Structure 1
Amino acid sequence: MHTHYISWWNLENLFDEKDAPLSRRPDDLKRKIQADLKNWTPEVLSRKITQLASVINQMNNGLGPDILGVCEVENAHVLNLLINSLQSGRNYGIIHHDMGDKRGIDVAFIYDQNRYTFNSNEFFHHTVVKRYPTREIVQATVVSQATGNEIILVGNHWPSRSAGQYESEPYRIITGETLSYFIERIQEVKGNDAAIVVMGDFNDEPFNRSLTDYAQSVMDRDKVVYGRNPYLYNLMWPLLGQRKASYVYSGSPMMIDQFMVGKGIAKKSGKYVLEESSVKLEIFDGMVSGRYDTPVRFGQEKPNLNGYSDHLPISFMLGEK
């Protein structure tokens, strides 16, 4: 059986160096994030890259992920720094859209170019706007070189709760509705057997309305397979039931980083084998502390050079018959 090791990680403000050339950072963005970049020297950026790479290198029993979705990356330059620091021996490439948001944090995919071919004709993105561009949904199609089958990746970074959970909820609700439209359109064009993998930092948990009522994300696999709506099967419920968390805010553990799959993967009679027991948080030595496995942050204003990110990575294995 052919397998795909798929991961997701919010990299926590992976900014370019403070004095990056203007060709990599427009003047207006430089002004807006100037305070964040106060201590962001080339040496600190290099340390951040080293810490992130040390984790990615350990994934998949030291082989590294086949596909890694990421968010909070400023540009393609820092993504290239990251893949050049990986030691898995893989030929990684990047799929990236420069969103042009207020803080310079994008969604992107890293993929093994010896295993997949990126179909650049099927690359779509939607920017979430709160008076200004703030977060995004990115869709990309990769084709397995071993089988010729497509996997449609949908990366998400939804509006934060910084203004308050309920005050900011309408923005995540409209984003959830937009994601559901993406899934409906994919299935209309590609058919119900399309292999759709949704991943991201949703800033809501699997039981919140933006996901259950609007993105149509459910915990019932049969509902996804036999339902008429474009439901998504949320893979995070078992970890949530074990009180696992990808993020901790003010002492409260939250599973806001999630994987969901469409009907084409959820159905047991199809070409894919969903290995549900493989869904996990990626935790290695030094990455967590505290009661709820609190991620050790790298930070920004006063960087912790022994930190990584304020989120934990998540992974799962997808088989192909």
Structure 2
Amino acid sequence: MQEPKEIIAFYNLENFFDTKDDPHKNDNDYLPHGSNHWTENRYLGKVEGITAAIESIQPEKLPIVIGVAEIENSTVLKDLIYQPAFKGEYKYVHFDSPDRRGIDVALLYNQNLVQILESEKIPVRINGNSHFATRDILYVKAKIKQDNVHFFVNHWPSRGEGIMASNPKRVAAAECLHNKAKQILNQDKEAKILIMGDFNDLPVSKSISKHLQAKAHKNITEQQFYNLAAIPYQKKMGSLFAKKHWLMFDQIIISKGLLTGKGIRISAPRLTIHGDRSLLYFDQQAGIYKPNRTYTYHTYHGGASDHLPVYVALD
């Protein structure tokens, strides 16, 4: 029997709110008397659904690191890692960010296998505009086995106001991220950097390919990155379904140190989209399977998320 792999995953949890009113966040839709009728039973169902989704990635062993997006606060993270599947082995890194919707990113990790060395949040600013509010980028430096790995968890500004109108915001996020990554690579050209998140852009978008310098090929320089989502994207695969198309917004991107360096590496140079049947429903009108989301606008479906998890395995 093959040994279970050490897996690193990313999962957008689609508006993972608790049921308590936070006057400092725009959580009114996700209250028992809000427009989504977000009751305790529905919330607990989502906690269990997310747990089952993560378990299904590799039933023998949970991912040792899981980046997550669209979480409201530390309460939902605690409720998640207290589920029996996590066996009391997981902790998390999370900072509150200024996002107007009140959603953040976080990093879950198995404390028996991963040691956190440092962490910080990286604000995203456009031309120094302190009034622009979006999710911070989460930076975590961790030790796995004998190697240091630098993690960045992202949830870049959405395309809600239109692709072109919102593009400068994603470019700003890319440049903030690249500046921090460059600092690390200037100190150690073989640094092992893993960038993951919901980028609300495609692998070929300029924010990623040009401003972040994440390439679709392995022949990269020491200050460029390899986008493990490039192959699935080229095969017209995606992590979420919107406007009649699969979109590859959820991506994992690595530095040369994780591609060809010594020590731990990514065992297969591509990511896997976890499209387990339990996470999908059959849309009879469209004639295809789609991620079973929690809500469509204010209609409750009871699924775990409108995104599918993506992951890579360590060698």
Fold conserved between structures, TM > 0.5: yes
Show the counterpart of 2:224.
231
SS at match of 2:79: helix
Query: Deviation per CA, 1:170-215, whole angstroms, max 9, x where unpaired?
Result: 11111111111111011123x0111111000000000011001101
1:220 Cα deviation (Å)?
1.9
Amino acid at match of 2:230: W
Show the counterpart of 2:137.
137
Show the counterpart of 1:253.
246
Query: For the residues of structure 2 that align with 1:2 and 1:265, how far apart are their CA atoms?
Result: 20
SS at match of 1:180: helix
Query: Deviation per CA, 1:25-48, whole angstroms, max 9, x where unpaired?
Result: 3x232xx33134311121111011
1:271 aligns with 2:263: yes
The change in CA–CA distance for 1:294 and 1:153 in structure 2 (over 3 A counts) is same
The change in CA–CA distance for 1:83 and 1:192 in structure 2 (over 3 A counts) is same
1:314 Cα deviation (Å)?
0.2
Do 1:198 and 1:259's aligned partners in 2 also have CA atoms closer than 8 Å? yes
Do 1:150 and 1:195's aligned partners in 2 also have CA atoms closer than 8 Å? yes
- Structure 1: 5+ residue runs without aligned partners? none
Show the counterpart of 1:16.
18
Show the counterpart of 2:235.
242
Query: For the residues of structure 1 that align with 2:168 and 2:99, how far apart are their CA atoms?
Result: 19
The change in CA–CA distance for 1:56 and 1:241 in structure 2 (over 3 A counts) is same
The change in CA–CA distance for 1:204 and 1:239 in structure 2 (over 3 A counts) is same
Do 2:240 and 2:306's aligned partners in 1 also have CA atoms closer than 8 Å? yes
Do 1:125 and 1:136's aligned partners in 2 also have CA atoms closer than 8 Å? yes
| TM-score (norm. length: structure 2) | 0.89
Query: Deviation per CA, 1:261-316, whole angstroms, max 9, x where unpaired?
Result: 0121122x5223322266211122331234564211111733222x1101110011
1:318 aligns with 2:311: no
Q: Pick from 212, 216, 219 the counterpart of residue 216 of structure 2.
A: 219
Query: Deviation per CA, 1:218-270, whole angstroms, max 9, x where unpaired?
Result: 012122xxx25x21110011111222110111112110000000121122x52
Amino acid at match of 1:45: Y
Show the counterpart of 1:7.
9
| TM-score (norm. length: structure 1) | 0.87
SS at match of 1:47: helix
Query: For the residues of structure 1 that align with 2:266 and 2:16, how far apart are their CA atoms?
Result: 31
Q: Pick from 260, 275, 278 the counterpart of residue 283 of structure 1.
A: 275
Amino acid at match of 1:310: D
1:128 aligns with 2:116: no
The change in CA–CA distance for 1:292 and 1:317 in structure 2 (over 3 A counts) is farther
Amino acid at match of 2:108: I
The change in CA–CA distance for 1:3 and 1:270 in structure 2 (over 3 A counts) is farther
Query: For the residues of structure 1 that align with 2:104 and 2:85, how far apart are their CA atoms?
Result: 24
Q: Pick from 198, 201, 225 the counterpart of residue 198 of structure 2.
A: 201
Amino acid at match of 1:34: N
Do 1:151 and 1:196's aligned partners in 2 also have CA atoms closer than 8 Å? yes
Query: For the residues of structure 2 that align with 1:89 and 1:174, how far apart are their CA atoms?
Result: 39
RMSD: 2.0
Do 2:7 and 2:65's aligned partners in 1 also have CA atoms closer than 8 Å? yes
Query: For the residues of structure 1 that align with 2:15 and 2:139, how far apart are their CA atoms?
Result: 21
Do 1:142 and 1:152's aligned partners in 2 also have CA atoms closer than 8 Å? yes
1:12 Cα deviation (Å)?
0.4
Query: For the residues of structure 1 that align with 2:65 and 2:73, how far apart are their CA atoms?
Result: 18
